Amino acid sequence: MDFERRIQESVARKKILIKSYLLREEGEEKLERIIHAVLRSCGREDLMGPIYACMRELVQNAAKANLKRVVFEEQGLNPFDEDQYRFGLEAFRKSLASKRIQHYRPILHARDVPFYVKIKWDGRVLLLNVENYFAMLTVEEKRIREKFIHSHNMDNLYEFFMTYGDSTEGAGMGIAMVQILMKQAGFDAHNFTIFSDPIRNRTSARLVVPLVKDYSEPRVRFAEEMKRRGVEASVLRKEIQEGKLDFPVFY
């Protein structure tokens, strides 16, 4: 009952913050109830299936990203060294077995290596963010961007997995799944974005769910700002990272 009361209080404020370390079955159930309450408040319960599936995948990815860094540190490995990175991936894959995950749970708590789910909405838009406090490595970002490109013109999950699936952990398969699910729900593929910020050392995955037809999405406003000022995209991204330009990338 206390959990339900806190959900209702957060829904009334139209802002939710969740801090966690690893997502267990109980956590998945709570996340599902929270997403349902939010979508009900927005009058979009019809989106429950795809939005919850997307958020569950993003939360799992954030938890795995944190776990990967802890495993690398425990092994004394340099993730920027290609050979050591491959060796670390093998150790990380072994850690994904349930017993090993339980071993790392208190370590993640002791080192305070959480992920955050941040949700806020108003009458015009629903923003859902999943953040973890590690910037993506170059090799990770490269693989994820490749999956984004490959899945951009695909609307069928089965087709994508049969064409581009592989067994490499961290290859961005879940990310591609989220992009395709968003498109199947009727949204532009760009309504799902990932930002890796090496200055603040964090990565944020964001879903943008417009609640009105005339909502101007962040990417559209970004393009308009570039045109108005006559600058390259890299200039605006740098200003966002430095906090000089207020854009709904992190909040």
Residues 209 and 226 in one domain: no
Per residue in 30-81, pLDDT (tens digit) is 999 999 999 999 999 999 999 999 999 999 989 988 988 888 888 898 888 8
Residues 110 and 125 in one domain: yes
Residues 182 and 232 in one domain: no
Residues 144 and 234 in one domain: no
**φ, ψ for residue 109, nearest 5 deg:** -65, -45
pLDDT at position 19? 94
DSSP secondary structure letter of residue 193: E
Average pLDDT, the chain: 83
Residues 103 and 9 in one domain: yes
d(CA 29, CA 26): 5
Residues 206 and 171 in one domain: yes
**φ, ψ for residue 129, nearest 5 deg:** -120, 145
To the question of pTM greater than 0.85 for the whole model, the response is: no
Residues 10 and 30 in one domain: yes
Please check whether residue 10 is in contact with residue 16, taking contact to mean a CB–CB distance below 8 angstroms: yes
Residues 22 and 133 in one domain: yes
> What H or E segment, with its residue span, contains residue 86?
helix 82-95
Give the number of domains in the chain. 2
d(CA 152, CA 99): 36
- Give the structural domain span for 251: 216-251
Residues 74 and 150 in one domain: yes
What is the residue type of 126? L
Task: Return the percentage of the chain with pLDDT > 70, whole number.
Answer: 85
Per residue in 147-180, pLDDT (tens digit) is 777 666 666 666 666 665 554 444 567 788 888 8
Torsion of CA 219, 225, 228, 234, to 10 degrees: -100
d(CA 207, CA 30): 19
Of the pLDDT bands very low, low, confident and very high (cuts 50, 70, 90), residue 200 is confident
Of the pLDDT bands very low, low, confident and very high (cuts 50, 70, 90), residue 233 is confident
Q: What is the CATH number of the domain that holds 154?
A: 3.30.565.10
Half-sphere exposure of 94 (CA within 13 A, CB side): 8
Torsion of CA 138, 143, 145, 150, to 10 degrees: 170
Residues 175 and 241 in one domain: no
Residues 100 and 144 in one domain: yes
Pair of tokens at residue 52? 């919850």
Please check whether residue 141 is in contact with residue 115, taking contact to mean a CB–CB distance below 8 angstroms: no
Please check whether residue 179 is in contact with residue 157, taking contact to mean a CB–CB distance below 8 angstroms: no
Of residues 65, 6, 66, the one with CA closest to residue 33: 6
d(CA 179, CA 53): 11
Per residue in 109-155, pLDDT (tens digit) is 899 999 999 999 998 899 999 999 888 888 788 877 777 776 666 66
Residues 30 and 149 in one domain: yes
